Amino acid sequence: MTAPLLIVNAEVDGISGIDVRIERGRVTAVGPDLPRERADLLGAKGGALIPGLTDHHLHLHAMAADAASTRCGPPAVRTADDLHAALAAATGDAAGWVRGVGYSESVAGDLDAVALDRICADRPVRIQHRSGAMWMLNSAAVAATGLASGDHPGVERDGAGIPTGRVWRADDWLRTRLPTAQPPSLTAIGARLAGFGITSVTDATPDLRPESQQAIVDATASGALPQRVHLLGAPLTGPDVTSPRLTVGPYKIVIADSGLPELSALADTIAAAHAVGRPVAVHCVSREALLILLVALDDVGTIPGDRIEHGALVPRETLTRIRALGLRIVTQPGFLCDRGDDYLRDVDPVDLPDLYRCRSLVDSDIPLALSSDAPYGPLDPWRVMAAAVDRRARTGAVVGARERLTAAEALNGYLAPATDPGGAPRRVAMGAAADLVLLHGPLADVLTAPSADAVRRTWTHGDADALGR
């Protein structure tokens, strides 16, 4: 039998000199001067011991695929010449395809097949827009995927009915026309998450394919992905995949700005999820998407757990209605540090005060959780916390100073359980799951300048997942 672990001289809940005993994946004792016999000892050296962080919205397999893709946007790629060099140097997959990610129009304008051919035409190339909403294919890729015969509404066509090479929100359909590939391994992703102190994630990928869902199930069961996983993309009907390390959450619905849904169709989808006891998690990144959702919910009603994903633009006049409906918001202020300068340049000044609200949500008693939307936003939770606090773009410009959170509030946005985003922060307490993070210093010191460098060690289920730093 493995000996219990005793973490000695930690700061817990702001109190120094606390010992914490971990046994069989649980915290079994918390207090000063705990008995040290028959236990493995780890000196915390006064560092804070906090609950493991939860990233409330990311995309696991997209993260794994992204890690093996060619960067096609800032900061690595900023000009058309940069993009040409990146694609020329890219190593294709087994079928010769190049997969690019992170494209922004600031690099080389609006890309379609013709424009992409001028940059790289000698092999099939597909590049994902940084929003994740669109793929851009060169002519070789258009021919290889047979877009001309494609019947998906996301295949963009010109006035003559010829595909432009731009494909909107059609990932699953497009995948059926690409060379066959298995879901990528999540082992490296699990290690990266643990290094940041993340012990639980919500996979927000909509409409998970059976093989993708099974790959996540297998990765959590084997320990390849040590984090607990909460799935939004599990189908409304299907086999029960829940386990101590994997749960099924609200049903993900995407309100795509490239084609807003009929109100009645959206209401029917929400009602179908509610009918089987599933709340909904609705992707809303525009004012129009949010207003359509609120009208639909006025019609069909809400159930506990209904949530808004992103809330990129939340008009102040909707706050009272959001609270009355009992909705919570899972947002990503990390986009401000990544794209804040673009927002200040491109977003209508009328909309800027509504962008990635945080403070006004807290002040309106709307439950708020923070997340990354990785790989589309920065994964590092400490960087996201810093963005929620200072709301600074890369140039140092501030985006929405009135929406700043305190560092403690930003941390709380990562401490609620995946099943209750925006709920009460978890605590290091007797009987709690041993999903823990040990920091190099006291929490107050760490929060003066949130950084992943403060993470010393991470445990999920009582097992150490990250080497000491």
Measured between alpha carbons, how far is 35 from 26 in angstroms, rounded to an integer? 17
Average pLDDT of the residues of the chain: 95
Is position 180 within any domain?
no
Average pLDDT over residues 51-58: 98
Q: Where are the beta strands (DSSP E) in 194-344?
A: 198-203, 228-231, 246-248, 251-254, 280-284, 307-310, 328-331
pLDDT at position 286 over 80: yes
**Looking at residue 15, which CATH number applies to its domain?**
2.30.40.10
User: pLDDT digits over 72-114, tens only?
Assistant: 999 999 999 999 999 999 988 888 999 999 999 999 999 999 9
Whether residue 322 is found in the same domain as residue 388:
yes
Whether residue 220 is found in the same domain as residue 89:
no
Instruction: Specify the number of domains making up the chain.
Output: 3
Predicted TM-score (pTM) of this structure: 0.93
Is position 419 within any domain?
yes
- Choose the final residue of a domain: 131, 157, 175: 175
pLDDT for position 469:
45
Whether residue 296 is found in the same domain as residue 319:
yes
Whether residue 126 is found in the same domain as residue 213:
no
pLDDT category of residue 450 using cuts at 50, 70 and 90: very high
pLDDT at position 232 over 60: yes
Name the DSSP class of 441.
S
> How big is the chain, counted in residues?
469
pLDDT for position 182:
85
Cα-Cα-Cα-Cα dihedral sign, residues 403, 283, 372, 432 = positive
Average pLDDT over residues 45-54: 98
Whether residue 46 is found in the same domain as residue 80:
no
The 3-state DSSP class for residue 456 equals strand
Measured between alpha carbons, how far is 78 from 341 in angstroms, rounded to an integer? 14
pLDDT at position 60 over 60: yes
Whether residue 349 is found in the same domain as residue 216:
yes
The token duo for 266 is 């959206």
Q: Can you give the C-alpha Rg of the chain in angstroms? A: 23
pLDDT for position 463:
80
Strands 134-137 and 155-157: unpaired
Whether residue 237 is found in the same domain as residue 295:
yes
Residue 284 neighbours by CB under 8 Å, 6+ apart: 255, 290, 293, 308, 309, 310, 311, 312
Which of the residue ranges 195-204, 239-248, 342-351, 432-441 would you say has the lowest mean pLDDT? 239-248
User: pLDDT digits over 158-187, tens only?
Assistant: 999 999 999 999 888 998 999 888 899 999
pLDDT category of residue 1 using cuts at 50, 70 and 90: low
**Domain limits at 258?**
54-60+185-425
pLDDT at position 467 over 60: no
**Looking at residue 341, which CATH number applies to its domain?**
3.20.20.140
Whether residue 13 is found in the same domain as residue 24:
yes
Which helix (H) or strand (E) segment is 112 a member of?
Answer: none
Average pLDDT over residues 457-463: 91
Average pLDDT over residues 431-436: 97
Whether residue 331 is found in the same domain as residue 409:
yes
User: Do 203 and 64 contact (CB within 8 A), yes or no?
Assistant: no
User: pLDDT digits over 106-162, tens only?
Assistant: 999 999 999 999 999 999 999 999 999 999 999 999 999 999 999 999 999 999 999
pLDDT category of residue 468 using cuts at 50, 70 and 90: very low
pLDDT category of residue 465 using cuts at 50, 70 and 90: low
Whether residue 415 is found in the same domain as residue 441:
no
Which helix (H) or strand (E) segment is 219 a member of?
Answer: helix 210-222
pLDDT for position 177:
93
Measured between alpha carbons, how far is 437 from 52 in angstroms, rounded to an integer? 5
Which of the residue ranges 231-245, 271-285, 381-395, 409-423 would you say has the lowest mean pLDDT? 231-245
Counting residues of the chain whose pLDDT is more than 90, the rounded percentage is 90
